[in-house]
Amino acid sequence: MPDIDSLKESKNYYLDIPAKNEPFFLKGSGALDWGMQNRLSRIFRADTGRTVMLAVDHGYFQGPTSGLERMDVNIVPLLPYADALMLTRGALRSTMPSTFERGIVMRASGGPSILRELSNEQIAVDIEDGIRMNVAAMAVQVFIGAEGETQSIHNMTRLVDAGYRYGIPVLGVTAVGKNMTRDARYFRLACRMCAELGANFVKTYYVEEDFETVTASCPVPIVMAGGKKLPELEALTMAYKAVSEGAAGVDMGRNIFQSEAPVAMIQAVRKVVHELMPPKDAYELYLTLKNEGKK
């Protein structure tokens, strides 16, 4: 019990100052509940509105892919530079330090391996386990135009329903099958479907032509997937173009952890995403850090 004898009598209600009610900084997220907004702000930085998510979930269908053979050795040193970490619950619990303070984006769909039809996924994590792991979002793959299109959409909408029940945002991840055209028309369709059906943010690939129409026609933030490993300058250029054309950041995997110097690369990516550093300058920074031994 507080000591009521010493209660201070004078009070100031600041009658001349209107009560503040700042709008949430993230596109399409103003009407979300406090818990959802709070979780999204563990992924996206409020000062820039963008994120550098580090995607290391590849093992859920690819096994120990190059760069992810030993996540304790290769990925843990990158964590101080990641705004958010996208991974499976197996990797999180077995390998990642629970002192990580930023957002965990939990891979929540899976099933088939690279040996099978990839679109045949199901929900792979219970929302209660997401809560237990204190995740900032759940990620689900959506295969528009593929054999498992409807099933994958259904996975996402079920996760969205569960997410709203507990205040956990959902990331819709647009998958590209072997026979799908990677153009703005396709990604406009896929991203818009994810958003309309409830995803709170969407991950998609960059396309050289009309990418800004993909971001403009999606009412929630888009983060750019890195895709296959490119030379560092090309990857930095792609990230620069994506954020300049409306992406709210990147969710990059191979272009960081398969780089010759991943710690240097993720720092260069951060400069591009949060400060719009021109790609050539960011590449110079990458080389400097690399030469300093920041591998």
Residue 194 near ligand R5P by CB under 6 A: no
Distance CA(82)–CA(272), nearest Å, equals 13
* CA-based nearest residue to 177, from 157, 201, 149, 211: 149
Using the minimum distance from each CB to ligand R5P, give the nearer residue, 48 or 141. Answer: 141
Structure-token match 């780089």, residue found: 259
Residue of the chain from 45, 102, 254, 290 that contacts ligand R5P (CB under 6 A): 254
Residue 285 near ligand R5P by CB under 6 A: no
Distance CA(195)–CA(191), nearest Å, equals 6
Using the minimum distance from each CB to ligand R5P, give the nearer residue, 112 or 167. Answer: 112
Using the minimum distance from each CB to ligand R5P, give the nearer residue, 249 or 253. Answer: 253
Using the minimum distance from each CB to ligand R5P, give the nearer residue, 119 or 215. Answer: 119
Distance CA(209)–CA(9), nearest Å, equals 66
Strand partners, 205: 225
Residues taking part in catalysis:
203
Min dist CB 2 to ligand R5P, Å, is: 50
CA dihedral for 20, 23, 24, 29, sign (positive or negative)? positive
Residue 43 near ligand R5P by CB under 6 A: no
Q: How many CA atoms lie within 13 A of 160 on its CB side?
A: 20
* CA-based nearest residue to 282, from 258, 265, 257: 265
Residue 173 near ligand R5P by CB under 6 A: yes
Site string for ligand R5P, 88-127 (x = CB under 6 A): ----------------------------------------
- Measured torsion, CA atoms of residues 41, 136, 196, 155, in degrees rounded to the nearest 10: 170
Burial class of residue 174 in the structure, from the number of CB atoms within 10 Å of its CB (0-12 exposed, 13-18 middle, 19+ buried):
buried
Residue of the chain from 91, 252, 266, 272 that contacts ligand R5P (CB under 6 A): 252
Residue of the chain from 57, 83, 232, 245 that contacts ligand R5P (CB under 6 A): 57
Residue of the chain from 67, 103, 226, 249 that contacts ligand R5P (CB under 6 A): 226
| Contacting positions for ligand R5P (CB under 6 A) | 55, 57-58, 86, 141, 173, 225-227, 251-255
